[in-house]
Amino acid sequence: MKNLACPDLKVDTLPGISKIVCLDEVESTQAVARELAMEGTAEKTLVLAETQTSGRGRLGREWESAAGGLYMTLLLKPETSLKFLPDLSVLSGEAVAETITDLYGIKTRIKKPNDVYAFHPRRHKWLKISGILTESSSINRAPSWLLLGIGVNLNNAVKLETAVSVKAIKGAEVSREDFLVSFLKVFWLRYSAWEYGSQAKGS
In a domain, residue 6? The reply is: no
| CA angle, residues 30, 73, 141, in degrees to nearest 5 | 75
The dihedral sign for the CA sequence 37, 4, 104, 151: negative
CB 64 within 8 A of CB 160: yes
Residue 62: strand, helix, or coil: strand
In a domain, residue 3? The reply is: no
In a domain, residue 1? The reply is: no
CATH no. for residue 17?
Answer: 3.30.930.10
CB 156 within 8 A of CB 67: yes
User: What local confidence, expressed as pLDDT, does residue 175 receive?
Assistant: 95
**Which residue range is the domain that position 126 belongs to?**
11-201
pLDDT tens, position by position, 153-178: 999 999 889 999 999 999 999 999 99
In a domain, residue 4? The reply is: no
User: What local confidence, expressed as pLDDT, does residue 93 receive?
Assistant: 96
**Residue 181's pLDDT band (cuts 50, 70, 90):** very high
Residue 168: strand, helix, or coil: helix
**Residue 114's pLDDT band (cuts 50, 70, 90):** confident
Task: Calculate mean pLDDT across residues 133-137.
Answer: 87
Domain count, the chain: 1
Q: Percent of the chain, pLDDT > 90?
A: 62
**pTM: predicted TM-score of the whole model, two decimal places:** 0.89
